Amino acid sequence: MRLNLRRDNAGARTNGAASSASAPLLPPSSSPKEESAKQSIPEWEATGPASPPSCSPCSLLLAVVAILSCVAAEVKKTKVRQLKWDGKLCYLPGSDAFKYGVAALACLSAAQVVGYAAVCAGFCARDRKGVERRKGKRLTITAALFLVSWTSFGVGAVVLGAATSMSREQPYGKGWLDGECYLVRDGMFVASAVLVVIASGSTLCLAVMSMKKGRTEQDLKLHPQAG
């Protein structure tokens, strides 16, 4: 009898161990608070902050080159002492300001095109419904920056183009206009550099605003307002 009881106890122990080993281990269930916290984390926080448009650094670099070229052109422009006069006709030699002016004009145009490529990329990625919901003050600021950017670009291109053209050689009998020689006034290239700063700065502000608005709209999609 004692042998049978020992055998029965050993069998019960082995059966219990086998049932405990065969039972699957379930992961601990997460609480409702943890699930709601996971759902409330925005996608851009999980993936890191949104990087600025790749065109913006290129636009900034082109604007800096344009500004430096304007300053160099101001230093290298034709001086009054270089003017030659034979009693009837005038002559002005060319200067390095022409090369710097062409480089500044090209970089200014490229910076404007590249900058607005970044602006368009930022605004096109936005939700149209979100744009309609937020008409008002931000739209007014965007329109003002747009107007300032293109006005500064246009005036700067005209002033820079005229000063660059005057920096070419003006031979006897031809001059710059109607056989007369023209000198670039002091500060014209510097004024062009200031206009480049205004145009490029407003364009970069538009690019940054488009990036921030895109992130705000993504937050609104992830956190819809109740009611």
The residue among 100, 103, 109, 131 whose CA lies nearest residue 203 is 109
For residue 147, is pLDDT > 90?
yes
Give residue for tokens 């609104």: 220
For residue 47, is pLDDT > 60?
no
| pTM of this structure | 0.66
Q: Mean per-residue pLDDT for 37-49? A: 44
- At residue 139, the pLDDT reads 76
E-assigned strand segments in the chain: 84-85, 90-91
For helices 137-166 and 97-124, what crossing angle results, to 10°?
Answer: 160
Q: What band does 173 get if pLDDT is binned at 50, 70 and 90? A: confident
The residue among 188, 53, 164, 55 whose CA lies nearest residue 110 is 55
**Stronger pLDDT, 140 or 183, i.e. the higher one:** 183
> For the chain, which residues make up each domain, given as ranges?
53-222
**Stronger pLDDT, 68 or 15, i.e. the higher one:** 68
Q: What band does 24 get if pLDDT is binned at 50, 70 and 90? A: very low
Q: Mean per-residue pLDDT for 157-170? A: 93
The two structure tokens encoding residue 217: 């709209």
Q: Mean per-residue pLDDT for 4-13? A: 48
- At residue 174, the pLDDT reads 86
pLDDT tens track for 118-146: 888 766 765 554 444 455 566 788 889 89
- At residue 118, the pLDDT reads 81
Backbone angles phi, psi at 167, to 5 degrees: -85, -5
